[in-house]
Structure 1
Amino acid sequence: MNTRTRTLIYGLLISCILLAGAVVVQRHSALQSRRSEREAIKLYGEKNDELFLELISKFESLQPLSDTLSSISSITDMKDRVHNQMLLDLGKKQADTATDDIIQLIQAADVTEEDEKLRYRVNMLIMTSKKQEDVALLAFSGNLWRAVYNTSSRYWHSEPKVIDRHSLYAMSEAAIEVNALNQTMLTMRARAQSLREQSDAEDTKVRIPLLKQELLDSLAPHLQKLAQINDSYNTEAAK
């Protein structure tokens, strides 16, 4: 075997060794990456469970919003512009706050799907399930700020000053549905508080995903109704 042949053979051997080494390093890196991702998801889930229980346990009552909407729907003195406008402004503020609180809770109610990677969904919210996305979309559509704003705008531009019957009816319907939503949230809040107080950590860990799923399932019909009220009224207001 001449020198040139030996050089070629040694070169091939070195190339094979380097290639094998690169494959091993790449596989090790991929395994480490997947392990780190699983650990990150697990840590996210643990922190998210704590956040979820805290948010739902401290969820603010929606009764003030329901009361304000009911008061708007009961306005009879159309000439008291200052009082009426204060009610309308309060309703807009409370509706926006309620939607923000609900959206935050939906975002924390992560449920397991086949693809568990965190991903941006509605309005850059970080969620892990299609179910959350669907309910979040309903929450945005059901934000009553739009309906109260349109009621306020129609009242402000009317001559003489009057809140028309379509607006009064929409506010009444919205008040009823917000009250129903509040009752649902009170039940969910009591369940969450009970979980936070129990001493069986393993049982709590099992029950939290069930509570998240139940919350999303319970929110959906209420938010769907509020979205319908919004769409129906705002369509009428645009005429």
Structure 2
Amino acid sequence: MNKKIPKQLWLFAAILLFIIGFFNYRYNTAKEQTDNLKELYQVKNNRGFLTLLRQGHSYIPLAETIEKISKVSDQEDPAKVQKLIELAKTRSKEADQYLATLIEFSDSYVSDSDPRFMANHTVMTSKNQEDMFMLALQADIFMTMYEVSYNYWKDQPKLIPQDTKRMLVSIANELRSLDETLQSFKDRAVYNMEWGDFASTEQIKDFTLREIKPHLEKLVEIKSKFRE
């Protein structure tokens, strides 16, 4: 003989199903809102990245200034040499900041990856992006020129050693190569801002980082060999 299910049990089951359905609805709504925010965040980043790439930052003036420093004679007026070094410091700081910002805007859209604070209070989405940012910090030119400046004024007589000059030549050559690489992506950025889609922008960011990485590694290598 079948027993009737108590009304209280039916009521409890109905309430439980309602609660589960309600929380599922709230969860799905919240997830959709979060995904929309992530996508908007990425659209903003894509636009910023393409703008930085399109407007660009030429490394040629910095490379030329560093080359001039590498060619100064031992009889050169110290004030003139220091003026060149200060110019190189200013230009290198601008170049370092540009590259760091470009990398910060290069994060790729991944639905399960949340933007978060990383190195130097930057906001990024992946370990790979953070690694590139740290590599750029290691490859920075400003601190190198700061060291050159400090050593120049500390030494008596005021001379730039030959090994320093050789390092500067190597850095200048690599900066020219880096500039050429970045310029090669400029036309793509211009086209993509007008006609490109989300996926093609993601590809440009990925290709750009992959292409500039060897240049940064080379700069780190040049600086490391000099300090040995």
Give the TM-score normalised by structure 2.
Answer: 0.88
- Quick one: distance in 2 between partners of 1:194 and 1:78? 51
Structure 2 counterpart of 1:207, from 187, 200, 214:
200
Q: State the alpha-carbon separation in 1 of the partners of residues 131 and 110 from structure 2.
A: 14
Q: Which runs of 5+ in 2 are unaligned?
A: 1-5
What is aligned with 2:120? Answer: 123
**Match status 1:72 vs 2:69:** yes
Report the equivalent of 1:3. Answer: none
Q: Structure 2: which amino acid aligns with 1:230? A: K
**Counterparts of 2:113 and 2:88, CA distance in 1:** 38
Check whether the contact 1:173–1:229 (CA below 8 A) recurs between aligned residues: yes
- Cα deviation, residue 205, structure 1: 3.0
| 2:213 matches 1:216 | no
Q: How many residues align?
A: 223
Cα deviations by residue, 1:201-235 (Å, 9 ceiling, x for unpaired): 4x5333211111110001100011111222232x2
Alignment pair present for 1:39 and 2:36: yes
Shift of 1:10: 8.7
CA contact (8 A) 1:118 1:128 kept: yes
What secondary structure, in the 3-state scheme, does the structure 1 residue paired with 2:185 have?
A: helix
Paired residue type of 1:226: L
How many angstroms does 1:21 deviate by? 4.4
Indicate if the aligned counterparts of 1:79 and 1:161 stay in contact, CA closer than 8 A. no
User: Percent same amino acid at aligned positions?
Assistant: 27
SS of 1:116 mapped into structure 2: coil
Which amino acid counterpart does residue 231 of structure 1 have in structure 2? S
Distance 2:50 2:177 in 1: 22
**Amino acid in structure 2 at the alignment position of 1:217:** R
- Per-residue CA deviation, residues 110-169 of structure 1 (Å, 9 max, x unaligned), is 224574321222222222233322211111000011211111111111111111112111
CA–CA distance in structure 2, aligned partners of residues 183 and 204 of structure 1: 25
Report the more deviating stretch, 104-113 or 181-190. Answer: 104-113
Does the alignment pair 1:59 with 2:56? yes
Residue 153 of structure 2 is matched in structure 1 by 156
Distance, in Å, in 1 between the alignment partners of 2:225 and 2:120 is 24
SS in 1 for 2:197: helix
- How big is the alpha-carbon RMSD for the aligned residues of Structure 1 and Structure 2? 2.2
Q: State the TM-score, normalized to the length of structure 1.
A: 0.84
Deviation sequence 1:33-85 (CA, Å, 0-9, x none): 11111111111122222222111100121111111111111111445111111
